[in-house]
Amino acid sequence: MRTTILRSSEAVVIGQGLTGLFCAWSLARKGYKVDVIGRGTPASQMSSGCISDLGSTKAMEAIGMDRSEAFLALIDAGSSFLELMKAEGLDLIEPTDILIDGHGMGHQASLCQKWTLTKKDISDAAVVHLVLPADNGSLLKASLMAGSKDIEVKASPLPSSPDECEMRERVLRAASNSEADLVIVPPLFGLKNYRSFMELLERGDRTQVREYYAPLGLPGKRVVQAMRNAGAREEVAIHDMDVRKVIIKSGRVKRLGVRSGLREFDLDVQALIHCGGGLVGGGLGVSGTSAVDPLDTFDTISVGTGSNKYSVLGEGLRTDGRLHLHQNGARVANALAAGSILPGLNLPSGAGMGPCLATALLAAEEVGNGR
């Protein structure tokens, strides 16, 4: 039997990943009563994450943002997120220098190459071995050297796109032959690679090496849980529900049909922010380089060409410069999007976490502007 949730929601966020939770936290801090809808394991929790790169301003330009505005948004989001994580007990390394390279990428020369790389990891290590592409390695090396004059940094530079065999050989050689206390590797291996590398490194006498690549998922779980805790302190309500339908009238989202188990509800909506929600939850998920909308509610767009990793590729939900969603070519006034469901922000090696966090904050601000 269909019932109606008693109170209207001032703001509904679809997606329980890092983007959705960060957006919900920001809205709650502005005084909104926020409901987060989703089900299943968010992609944020399954990945290791990386915030050493602020992310691509080009990706944010593709959704209609000015480059200078995008860059400032990236800096603001990165700083806010690091401060929040520190308050939740995850003392991540704070950013140092910021630069923009020739590809329009903003970089922070920080030590957050992985979520689990903390100040203690560095202070405990006398020798660090970097197995990274040359550009990332030089950034990280400079930051390491600046942070501690006593640390010795070794490097085994990787080509920008190493094949699996080469990556495997370099990592194993660094872990088994160096005198490093800490081996730092790229943050985005596939699950298969993680398992095979871990199995090999656990064999033989390599106890002197504290290899630094956690099993895929553990860093993400720590960060997502910290974000959930922060939201709970701001009275963010998180619901394990599916989105079944989105009702739009007169250019505004009026109601969501949601389901929890066998029970179905109608949830009145004042503002809606799509931050994923995945295929399982019936929200808007990412498949490969494309955002998908199982409910076929909103317009999608495809931008960019070429294979360069800095190119803005893939399909995503169509928005304007203020992140408003569109239906049949018309802007939906109270529906916005953020994170990896936007064009160019859903590439594993492209936009990075920065634009997802930045668009989450910007969407929350836009909701506040329309209050």
**Of residues 338, 365, 370, the one with CA closest to residue 354:** 338
Q: Kindly indicate the confidence band of residue 132, based on its pLDDT and cuts at 50, 70 and 90.
A: low
Question: Which one has a higher pLDDT value, 195 or 46?
Answer: 46
Q: Do both 72 and 163 map to the same domain?
A: no
- Residue 338 included in any domain: yes
DSSP state letters, 192-218:
HHHHHHHHHHTSSS-TT-EEE-PPTTH
The pLDDT score that the predictor gives to residue 231 is: 96
- Residue 197 included in any domain: yes
Question: Which one has a higher pLDDT value, 284 or 172?
Answer: 172
- Residue 91 included in any domain: no
How would you class 37 by CB atoms within 10 Å of its CB: exposed for 0-12, middle for 13-18, buried for 19 or more? buried
Q: Do both 198 and 235 map to the same domain?
A: no
Q: Do both 350 and 245 map to the same domain?
A: yes
Say which range, 45-49, 149-153, 159-163, 219-223, has the weakest mean pLDDT. 45-49
Domain that residue 358 falls in: 2-82+220-369
**Of residues 46, 61, 49, 51, the one with CA closest to residue 310:** 61
- Residue 103 included in any domain: no
Q: Do both 337 and 356 map to the same domain?
A: yes
Q: Kindly indicate the confidence band of residue 152, based on its pLDDT and cuts at 50, 70 and 90.
A: confident
- Residue 47 included in any domain: yes
Question: Which one has a higher pLDDT value, 326 or 285?
Answer: 326
Q: pLDDT tens-digit profile of 58-73?
A: 677 777 888 778 878 8
Q: Do both 127 and 246 map to the same domain?
A: no
Q: Do both 208 and 320 map to the same domain?
A: no
Provide the CATH number for the domain around residue 6. Answer: 3.50.50.60
Provide the CATH number for the domain around residue 150. Answer: 3.40.50.2300
The pLDDT score that the predictor gives to residue 300 is: 83
Q: Do both 338 and 229 map to the same domain?
A: yes
What's the total number of domains in the chain? Answer: 2
Q: Do both 209 and 246 map to the same domain?
A: no
**Of residues 107, 48, 15, the one with CA closest to residue 337:** 15
Q: Which of 149, 182, 213 is the last residue of a domain?
A: 213
Q: Do both 124 and 264 map to the same domain?
A: no
The pLDDT score that the predictor gives to residue 336 is: 96
Q: Do both 171 and 247 map to the same domain?
A: no
- Residue 290 included in any domain: yes
Q: Can you give the pTM of this predicted structure?
A: 0.68
**Of residues 245, 241, 242, the one with CA closest to residue 296:** 245
Q: Which of 153, 178, 213 is the last residue of a domain?
A: 213
Q: Which of 185, 213, 241 is the last residue of a domain?
A: 213
Q: Do both 355 and 238 map to the same domain?
A: yes
- Residue 110 included in any domain: no
